[in-house]
Amino acid sequence: MIMPDVQKLLDKIYHSVIPEIEDLESVLSFQDDGQIAQLFNFSDKVRKEFCGDGVALRGIIEFSNYCSRECFYCGINKNNHRLRRYRMDEKQILDAVEYLASCNIKTVVLQSGEDGILNALWMKEVIEKIKSRWDIAITLSVGERSADDYKTWRKAGADRYLLKIETSEEALYSSMHPGMDFKKRLDCLRILKELNYQVGSGNLIGLPAQSLKMIAQDIIFFKRNDFDMIGIGPFIPHQDTRFAGQNKGNVLLTLKTIALTRLVTKNAHIPATTALGSMDRDYRLDGLKCGANILMPNFTPAPYRKFYEIYPQKRCVNEPVGVCNLCMETMAKGLGRFIDYSQADSLKSGKKFKQILNSKPEIPACRQAKQI
Ligand code: SAM
C-alpha cells in the first residue's frame, strides 16, 4: 500500500537538485516495513529507468596488501603486524588479467593498499601492457598519489579511479585517519576528475560515532560531486585494528543509503559491495533490489586472496577464481535481470563514454569451459 506522505517525501528528494539534509535523515530513520518497502520499490524503479536491467561486472585484482596508512578500521593498515604481506609482480597481474578477460569481463579493478614501493612507472607499464593485449577498461584504486602519477596513468590508458571519501564529515574522517588530510583527499578527487577519469567514491556505513546526519551529508556530497560510481558498504570490524570490538555497520541502514543514493544521483553506477555480501548472510541481492547495478567478482589469485583481509570473513575468499561469474549470473537471473558483459562505462550525461543500456548478455568463455 502506497503511503501518500512517504511518497511525497521521496518525490521531493527525487526532484531536488540538492536534497534537504533533514529529508534524507528522515528517510534514513525509517523503521516501518511499509515505508522501507516503498523506498526500495521506488529506488528500484529509478535504477531500472536510468541504468536498465543489466548488472555490470568489475573484476577486482588486489595486487598488494602493503599499506603505509594507519586507518583505524582497515585490516591491512600498516600497524597490523599479524598480517602476511604480499605484492604480486607484473607477470602475476597480467596472468590474472588474462584469466579475467577469458571470463569475458571487461573491467579490471587494480587495487592495493597505499604501497610505498609502488612505482609510478612500473604501474604505467602494467597499464600499457594490459591495454595493448585486451579490450578492457582499467580502474585503479591505489589511494592518494601525486597529480603527476594520476596523469601518467591516465595517459597510459587507465580509464577510471576509485577513491572512497569513507565519510564526508571532516572531523570524523580526521579522527580515524592519522597522518591523513581530508582536504588532500578532496584534492585528489578533484584532480582525478580534471584528468577525465571516470571517478568512483563512496562511504562506510556504521563507523563509530557516525550519525544519520553524516550519512545524509555523504549522499549530498555524492550528488554535488556527480561521481560516476559510488560504493556504499557496511563497516565490518577487524580484530587486529583500533576498531576491534566495535559494532558492525547495520545492513538495513546500508540498503537505505544505497536506495537514497540511487534516488538522488539517478544514474551513478552503484555496486552491491562485497562487504554487503560478507555480513551474517550475503545481502548483495538485497542491494541489487534497492538500487545497485554492479557486482565485483574477485580475481585475486588463490595464494594471496585471503591476505587481502580488510575485514574478516570476506565473501568468496575460498572460492576458486572465476566461479563468481556463475554465482553472479544466478543472482541477476533470479531478479529477472541479466549480467551485462560490456565495459559499462559511466552513464553520466555529457561524458563521451559508451552507454550500457540494453546491451545484450553473452555467455563468457570461462563459464562455457566450466560447464563442459
Ligand atoms: N588504498 C586504496 C584507498 O585508500 O582507496 C584502496 C584500498 S582500501 C583497503 C579499499 C576500501 O576498503 C576502502 O576504501 C574502505 O572503504 C574499505 N574498507 C577498509 N576496511 C574496511 C572495513 N573494516 N569494513 C569495510 N570496508 C573496509
- Phi and psi at 339, nearest 5°, equal -80, 130
**pLDDT for res 361:** 45
Give the distance, in angstroms, between the CA of residue 56 and the centroid of all CA atoms in the same chain: 12
- Distance CA(371)–CA(326), nearest Å, equals 10
221 pocket-lining for ligand 1 (C-beta < 6 Å)? no
**pLDDT for res 202:** 98
- pLDDT value at 169 more than 90: yes
CA of 203 to the centre of ligand 1 (A): 9
Contact 163, 170 (CB under 8 A): no
233 pocket-lining for ligand 1 (C-beta < 6 Å)? yes
Candidate of 70, 296, 310 to mutate for ligand 1, largest count of ligand atoms within 8 Å of Cβ: 310
Q: What pTM did the predictor assign? A: 0.94
Sign of CA dihedral 19, 22, 24, 26: negative
Averaged confidence pLDDT in the chain: 93
Higher pLDDT, 359 or 234: 234
Cell of 371: 560447464
111 pocket-lining for ligand 1 (C-beta < 6 Å)? yes
**pLDDT for res 307:** 97
CA of 74 to the centre of ligand 1 (A): 6
- DSSP per-residue letters across 325-350: HHHHHHHHHHTT-EEE-S------TT
**pLDDT for res 364:** 52
140 pocket-lining for ligand 1 (C-beta < 6 Å)? no
Nearest CA to ligand 1 atom 26: 235
- Distance CA(137)–CA(12), nearest Å, equals 36
> Average pLDDT, stretch 106-111?
98
> Average pLDDT, stretch 13-21?
98
Nearest CA to ligand 1 atom 4: 143
> Average pLDDT, stretch 151-155?
98
**pLDDT for res 259:** 99
**pLDDT for res 366:** 54
**pLDDT for res 1:** 82
Cβ-based neighbour number of residue 222 at 10 Å: 24
Alpha carbon distance, N-terminus to C-terminus of the chain:
47
> Average pLDDT, stretch 156-178?
98
Query: What's the Rg (C-alpha) of the chain?
Result: 19
Give the single-character DSSP code of 218: H
Give the single-character DSSP code of 201: E
Higher pLDDT, 282 or 354: 282
pLDDT over 70 for what percent of the chain? 93
pLDDT in tens, 58-91: 999 999 999 999 999 999 999 999 999 999 999 9
Contact 258, 287 (CB under 8 A): yes
- pLDDT value at 39 more than 80: yes
**Sheet with 54-57, side-by-side order of all strands:** 294-295, 54-57, 338-340
Nearest CA to ligand 1 atom 3: 143
pLDDT over 90 for what percent of the chain? 88
> Average pLDDT, stretch 106-113?
98
Q: In degrees to the nearest 10, what's the CA dihedral of 82, 234, 225, 140?
A: 40
> Average pLDDT, stretch 108-115?
97
- Distance CA(111)–CA(115), nearest Å, equals 10
- Per the listing, cell 527525487 goes with 14
pLDDT in tens, 274-298: 999 999 999 999 999 999 999 999 9
Instruction: Sort residue 336 into left (φ over 0), alpha (ψ -120 to 50) or beta.
Output: left
Helix (H, G, I), strand (E, B) or coil at 231: strand
188 pocket-lining for ligand 1 (C-beta < 6 Å)? no
> Average pLDDT, stretch 179-184?
98
Cell of 155: 595517459
**pLDDT for res 324:** 77
Q: In degrees to the nearest 10, what's the CA dihedral of 358, 362, 364, 369?
A: 160
329 pocket-lining for ligand 1 (C-beta < 6 Å)? no
Please state the atom number of ligand 1 nearest to the C-alpha of residue 311: 23
CA of 319 to the centre of ligand 1 (A): 21
> Average pLDDT, stretch 318-331?
80
Nearest CA to ligand 1 atom 13: 164
279 pocket-lining for ligand 1 (C-beta < 6 Å)? no
- Phi and psi at 268, nearest 5°, equal -70, 145
**pLDDT for res 322:** 65
Contact 341, 107 (CB under 8 A): no
- pLDDT value at 347 more than 70: yes
> Average pLDDT, stretch 315-328?
77
242 pocket-lining for ligand 1 (C-beta < 6 Å)? no
Helices (H), the chain: 4-15, 21-28, 33-51, 90-102, 120-133, 147-156, 170-176, 182-194, 212-225, 251-265, 284-289, 302-305, 323-334, 365-371
* Confidence grade of residue 355 (pLDDT, cut at 50, 70, 90): very low
110 pocket-lining for ligand 1 (C-beta < 6 Å)? no
- Distance CA(148)–CA(252), nearest Å, equals 41
CA of 76 to the centre of ligand 1 (A): 9
